């Protein structure tokens, strides 16, 4: 991989991380369709971590409700992970382009 492509991928991953998203990137070597040779294959998942209070969700249908009377200081904190994007790629440029649109 060229240095510029590597820098481009690093920048895109850093931007997603600053948006508090988690990125799972798997890279492997795979035979292409119809036997045209072996290629590097990229698989990426972008995961959003959602923190919420189960009491606020049940009563007000929101992740957190500031005025949960009378128990406004007794939130029940939970975390859920939601996959918001997943796709296979064979080209780093396509991978960077798709991730930069998230």
The pLDDT of residue 33 is above 80:
no
Contacts of 34 (CB under 8 A, 6+ apart): none
Q: What is the phi-psi region of residue 93: left when phi exceeds 0, alpha when psi lies from -120 to 50, beta otherwise?
A: alpha
Residues 49/22, Cβ–Cβ less than 8 Å: yes
The pLDDT of residue 19 is above 70:
yes
Q: What residues does each domain of the chain span?
A: 3-100
Q: According to the model, what pLDDT value does residue 35 have? A: 64
The pLDDT of residue 56 is above 70:
yes
The pLDDT of residue 6 is above 60:
yes
How do residues 71-81 score in pLDDT, each as one tens digit?
556 778 889 99
Task: Tell me the pLDDT of the chain averaged across its residues.
Answer: 85
Alpha-carbon Rg for the chain in angstroms: 20
The pLDDT of residue 98 is above 90:
yes
């Amino acid at each position: 991989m060229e240095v510029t492509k590597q820098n481009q991928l690093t920048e895109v991953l850093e931007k997603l991380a600053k948006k508090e998203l988690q990125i799972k990137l798997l890279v492997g070597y795979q035979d292409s369709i119809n036997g045209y040779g072996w290629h590097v294959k990229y698989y990426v998942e972008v995961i959003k971590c959602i923190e919420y209070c189960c009491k606020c969700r049940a009563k007000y249908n929101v992740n957190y409700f500031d005025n949960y009377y009378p128990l406004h200081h007794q939130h029940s904190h939970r975390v859920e992970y939601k996959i918001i994007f997943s796709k296979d790629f064979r080209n780093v440029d396509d991978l960077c382009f798709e991730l930069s649109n998230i």
